[in-house]
Amino acid sequence: MKAIPPTRKDRKKPAPDMPKIIIYTTKICPYCIMAKRLLDRKGVSYTEINVDADPDQREEMMRKSKRRTVPQIFIDDRHIGGFDDLYALDQLNQLDSLFERV
């Protein structure tokens, strides 16, 4: 059978150049839910690391953030903090620009 050349529509779009967002969470955590809701509203994708059953990841979260509470949010290697910090950045209109790369 003859191969059909890809149409414009079939061609893959380049992946958007988004920063890597990591959110450390636990299962029962209202602040984590609020933080994820805010990120969802922003339409950004993120990696969630649940530290409930993973002491190594919890250790890493505490080492990187110097905090014990969840959530802890990182955009690329920049530590944002918890939900309050994320929300405050958004209120100051300083969050959206962190999702963009130049």
Q: Secondary structure of the chain: what % helix, strand, coil (to 5)?
A: 35, 15, 45
Closer residue to ligand GSH in complex, CB, 11/41: 41
Q: What residues from 55 to 74 belong to the interface with ligand GSH (CB under 6 A)?
A: 68-71
Q: 3-state class of 36 per DSSP?
A: helix
**How many chain residues interact with ligand GSH (CB under 6 A)?**
10
Q: Rounded to the nearest whole angstrom, what is the least distance from the CB of residue 45 to ligand GSH in the complex?
A: 20
Q: Which stretch binds ligand GSH (CB under 6 A): 2-10, 37-45, 51-59, 76-84?
A: 76-84
Q: Rounded to the nearest whole angstrom, what is the least distance from the CB of residue 70 to ligand GSH in the complex?
A: 5
12: left (phi over 0), alpha (psi -120 to 50) or beta: beta
Given strand 78-81, what is the order of strands in its sheet?
47-50, 21-25, 72-75, 78-81
82 near ligand GSH, judged by CB under 6 A:
yes
Among 23, 29, 39, 61, binds ligand GSH (CB under 6 A): 29
Is residue 38 within 8 Å of residue 88, measured between CB atoms? no
Q: Which residues bind ligand GSH (CB under 6 A)?
A: 29-31, 68-71, 82-84
